[in-house]
Amino acid sequence: MKVAVVISALAGIVVGALIGALFLAPRLTDSTSPAAAVSDKGSSAADVAAEPAVHWRMGSAYPSTMAISGTAGKRFERRIALVSNGNIEIRFFEPGALVPALELFDAVSAGSVDASFATAGYWAGKVPAAQFFTTVPFGPRLPETLAWLHYGGGLELWRELYRPYNVYPIPCYMNAAEGSGWFRHPIDTLDDLKGLKMRFFGLGARAMEKLGVSTQLLAGGDIYPALELGTIDATEFSMPVLDEGLGFQEIAKNYYFPGWHQPDSVGELNVNLDRWNALTERQQALIETVCGDNIIASWADSEASQFGPLQRLQTQGVVLHRWPKEFLEAFHKAWEEVRAEESATDPDFARVSDSLAAFHEEYRIWRDLSALPN
């Protein structure tokens, strides 16, 4: 009798946790996903108890000590264990502990790593169109981005592009708008950009190249040494809170805004598709639920964390600059040229670009009417 009582109590706890996770936690998922809807018959306590435990290794592109991007990965690790009552363990591994950060996509694809916590722009060499799922130059901010992903077909395209690589992507965190770059000297004319060696990310890098900048992609931890050694002359990386933590202000004192190349950015949890398909529907729903919650938490954190670093940077001699209109116009023109060139040679790039552009145009009437004047 005592054993029966204990089992009954445990079953009640599990069912309670399931209800809370599925119906109370914030959730962002597309309506067409297999995990988007809970089955009509639900999951019985016996079904939950019989689920196989999940023990995955998740490689991160960001150290756990890095604000927002790194802490979001650790938060995901904790929250998925909590809401699954320990049934799902997805262990966070520091960059390089499993494979180098820029090799995570291949490792997840092959199944040597179960999952990764990174951003789609890192795989531009393999899937150029994936860059749209991180951010796009002069693109939308968070509300419009999420609307396109979940209700404008963006997430369907994302998963379609990754499917041949045996990878299942889930939006799992977001960063606020970034800074545009750190420079040793003020940039007074467009000619001052010519010949600079600069770390630059994503689609914006191609636009900068059209203006005479030599760009390369470096993982976050490799940027400071490259600046210090003179391998690069300038860099962009992320938001002020992250840039400050990497110490760029010790070498470059001119910090430019706005981050036209990354207005807001999305981060992804990538899962090996075979591992994903082996999960129960409930387990899939729990992972997507926690990622939805992680998006809210990380974006709120990133918006609340920028003004303090900016104030501190100024006390360290950093000069904050805002790009003049003629610079922004030049960046935009260069980006449109890149968009046209890439679309002409890559059908997948063209499909994603056209999808986002069409949604952006449809969204315009609401954006213009709902926004307060500055």
Site of tokens 């004319």? 189
Is the distance from CB of 115 to CB of 272 less than 8 angstroms? yes
Prediction pTM value: 0.82
SS3 assignment, position 329: helix
Per-residue confidence (pLDDT) for residue 8, from 0 to 100: 42
DSSP label at residue 122: G
What residues contact 43, with CB distance under 8 A and at least 6 apart?
A: 18, 280, 281, 282
Site of tokens 């599925």? 22
Question: Would you tell me how many other CB atoms lie within 10 Å of the CB of residue 221?
Answer: 15
| Sign of the C-alpha dihedral computed for residues 77, 80, 86 and 90 taken in this order | negative
What residues contact 186, with CB distance under 8 A and at least 6 apart?
A: 192, 254, 319, 321
Domains assigned to the chain: 17-27+54-175+264-304 (3.40.190.170), 181-262+318-370 (3.40.190.10)
- What tokens were used for 316? 């360290």
- 300-to-5, 49, 83, 93, 119 alpha-carbon distances in Å: 43, 35, 21, 24, 18
CA pair distance 196, 253, nearest whole angstrom = 16
CA pair distance 61, 73, nearest whole angstrom = 9
Question: Would you tell me how many other CB atoms lie within 10 Å of the CB of residue 327?
Answer: 19
Nearest 5°: CA angle at 367, between 365 and 368? 65
Per-residue confidence (pLDDT) for residue 47, from 0 to 100: 66
pLDDT digits (tens, 9 = 90+) for 120-159: 989 988 999 999 999 899 999 899 999 999 999 999 999 9
- What tokens were used for 90? 């997805």
Per-residue confidence (pLDDT) for residue 63, from 0 to 100: 92
- What tokens were used for 183? 């420079």
DSSP label at residue 264: S
Low-confidence ranges of the chain (pLDDT < 70): 1-49, 374
DSSP label at residue 141: -
